[in-house]
Structure 1
Amino acid sequence: MGKLVNGEWKDTWYDTSETGGAFQRDTSKFRSWVTADGEPGPDGADGFKAESGRYHLYVSFACPWAHRALIFRTLKGLEQHIDVSVVHPDMLGDGWTFDTNFDGATGDRQGGRRFLRDLYTGVNPDVSGRVTVPVLYDTATNTIVSNESAEIIRMFNSAFDGLTGNTDDYWPKPLRGRIEEVNARVYDTLNNGVYKAGFATTQDAYEDAVVPLFDTLDWLEDLLGQNRYLAGDTLTEADWRLFTTLIRFDAVYHGHFKCNRRRIVDYPNLWAYTRELYQVPGIADTVRFDHFMRHYHYSHETINPHRIVPVGPALDLDAPHGRDKPRDQMGAA
């Protein structure tokens, strides 16, 4: 895993000795905004003007946070405006690398760097913290705009609309209160909850994570029996933030992170919903199970010391989802 300490790379795993065995995620370090006109973003941070070809997106196909950004790049028609570099799925002593000996790993297509950390130290030679994806990089000023996925997807949602003509809105004003409410629970107990369960180093810390995780899955199953989507009948960012965890759950989190009370395929509504979102045009191209399986099982030596990469599961994501049926028939497919 590793991290930067005052610009120097340290190969160190998460330290849970002071948290009772509980995993705590670092906060993102770069929090500026791309806006339509270059004015400051919603939190007053520096603004960068939306321009075609100016920004470069660094992602991992394995990472659910980076996957959010890839999905919004697709949904909003930004492929021709924002180029992408994909890191290698193995995250070992040097962290994310730009090695290309795995299908889909592109190398650094913007600057020819060897390690993702070189992007961080190139912007701030004294930076400290984890080196994470996604990263939205401004090639005009050679700086990192943001490495916070929740904010990058909101930039993609609206800032480039004037360039693309795509005005689809996954953060509509009338639903923002509900979206935020759902996001808060899903992030704490599920998006991050799988990591809190998987990276726990005591039984108590594990159970403190895994019990609310399945409480939330049960709640979502009930909710999706009543509503088409998490905020009602409108597909929003809340759905896509959930999707990147659901699509990895049975392949990775169920076994590798010991989230094994039930699988997503055991929840009729959640499984149909996962298939529906997967079948949205363009989304399947952002889903790489080979990267999922390789990254988690090969990179996490403390969890899987022999680095055996499982072969399964076999998931039929192209099966009819039935979510367009009347609500009393949802989940029956």
Structure 2
Amino acid sequence: MSEDNSGSGYVTGGEYNRDSNYITDRITADGSSGWPVEAGRYRLVAARACPWANRSIIVRRLLGLEKVLSMGLTGPTHDERSWTFDLDPGGRDPVLGYERLQEAFLARFPDYDRGITVPAIVDVPTKAVVTNDFAQITLDFSTEWTAFHRDGAPDLYPERLRAEMDEVMQRIYTEVNNGVYRCGFAGSQEAYDAAYERLFTALDRLEERLTAQRYLMGGSITEADVRLFTTLARFDAVYHGHFKCNRQKLTEFPALWAYARDLFQTPGFGDTIDFPQIKEHYYVVHADINPTQIIPMGPDTSVWLTPHGRESLGGRPFGDGTPPGPVVEGEEVPADHGPGGIGHR
């Protein structure tokens, strides 16, 4: 079955299961992992279309790691082999020289036969992949790359909250991030029905939680918010129709919708979202779900810029820190791909 290649999956008994067999190497401050944190040594390969990769783009920007960790972006679609660098001149990543991400995996593991997934971090000197463990990558940005954080970088993984955060993030992953896929790739009516109920039960609980507090962990943004946001940003554009998650739209959840807009309008979040790429990826790559590969015209994404009113709940988005500065030159989402631009289709 085709998947979004940001974690391949399989269906057993009609139920979708995500293959979580990643390369779990870590890049660490003390180098004990064999991969020491070094400025300029590594390249983050991501895709704006992919929710799992979108997390790494957001966290890298919030922490100000752009100058020490370069980023390569693939196009929104891929073939059976790999994500490809078709957005770059000549269709090759300008730093790695590769046409497809698969080459970095094969440079390290010549017999690699698992999913070629984003995000991935590549060692530039050897042009070989280091890790594609998306959940650990962003946590390590917060905890291992501290020497290179910008002045005013927020604490996205506060030690005093980690035990509770880990539980919250695990539920978000199983019930929401992966829950939409469980609906979309269900292989039987029974599996779909169960997945649908499970997803909306989780969203109802999040709606309740976010009615009384501005962010998932209280008054400031944490990694938990990043992880929920990338699914919410895709909900009405893709998951509601394409994945049949259609009990209601995100815009019909009062607290969740206001929360999502609050984050979207916060520097580091909405400025990483490319709605045309998101829609092209899902509706074209998942040909088993959408055989015609027709990309919907809607929804109108200008609604993401409407007032959200969440300031009334108080809090400071970046805690004791400050917002990130402007998007680094060359990493901007095209102006007509954002909310209200002609690219929202």
Q: Structure 1 length normalisation: TM-score?
A: 0.87
Aligned letter for 1:241?
A: R
> Residues 297 and 228 of structure 1: is their aligned pair in 2 closer, same or farther, counting only changes over 3 Å?
same
In structure 2, what is the equivalent of residue 203 of structure 1? 189
> Residues 318 and 226 of structure 1: is their aligned pair in 2 closer, same or farther, counting only changes over 3 Å?
same
Aligned letter for 2:293?
A: R
In structure 2, what is the equivalent of residue 97 of structure 1? 84
Identity of aligned residues (%): 42
Secondary structure of the 2:292 match is coil
Secondary structure of the 1:93 match is coil
Distance 1:168 1:263 in 2: 31
Distance 1:284 1:64 in 2: 13
The answer to whether residue 111 in structure 2 is matched with residue 118 in structure 1 is no
In structure 1, what is the equivalent of residue 16 of structure 2? 23
> Superposition pairs for residues 180-329 of structure 1, below 5 Å?
180-315=166-301, 316-326=303-313
Secondary structure of the 1:48 match is coil
- Decide which of 114, 117, 129 is 1:144's aligned counterpart: 129
- The answer to whether the 8 A contact 1:57-1:134 is kept is yes
Structure 1 gaps of 5+ residues are: 4-12, 40-45, 328-333
Segment of structure 1 superposing worse, 158-167 or 186-195? 158-167
- Decide which of 133, 143, 153 is 1:158's aligned counterpart: 143
> Residues 238 and 14 of structure 1: is their aligned pair in 2 closer, same or farther, counting only changes over 3 Å?
closer
1:134 Cα offset (Å) = 0.3
Q: Deviations over 1:25-82 (max 9, x none)?
A: 112431111222323xxxxxx2422221111011111100000000011000011111
Q: How many residues align?
A: 308
Distance 2:137 2:308 in 1: 29
In structure 2, what is the equivalent of residue 33 of structure 1? 26
Of structures 1 and 2, the one with the larger relative CO (CA 8 A, separation 6+) is 2
Q: Deviations over 1:123-157 (max 9, x none)?
A: 10011211110001122344322101111101111
Secondary structure of the 1:269 match is helix
Structure 2 gaps of 5+ residues are: 315-345
Distance 1:170 1:192 in 2: 22
In structure 2, what is the equivalent of residue 51 of structure 1? 38
Distance 2:220 2:269 in 1: 17
Aligned letter for 1:324?
A: E
Secondary structure of the 1:145 match is strand
Distance 1:156 1:67 in 2: 14
Distance 1:111 1:255 in 2: 37
1:213 Cα offset (Å) = 0.2
> Residues 173 and 265 of structure 1: is their aligned pair in 2 closer, same or farther, counting only changes over 3 Å?
same
Q: Deviations over 1:240-276 (max 9, x none)?
A: 1000000000000000000000111001110111011
Secondary structure of the 1:33 match is coil
- The answer to whether the 8 A contact 1:96-1:117 is kept is yes
Secondary structure of the 1:210 match is helix
- Decide which of 32, 53, 56 is 1:66's aligned counterpart: 53
1:101 Cα offset (Å) = 8.0
1:311 Cα offset (Å) = 0.9
Distance 1:106 1:64 in 2: 23
Secondary structure of the 1:56 match is strand
- The answer to whether the 8 A contact 1:56-1:84 is kept is yes
In structure 2, what is the equivalent of residue 8 of structure 1? none
1:227 Cα offset (Å) = 1.5
Distance 2:313 2:218 in 1: 14
Q: Structure 2 length normalisation: TM-score?
A: 0.84
- The answer to whether the 8 A contact 2:2-2:286 is kept is no
Segment of structure 1 superposing worse, 239-248 or 86-95? 86-95
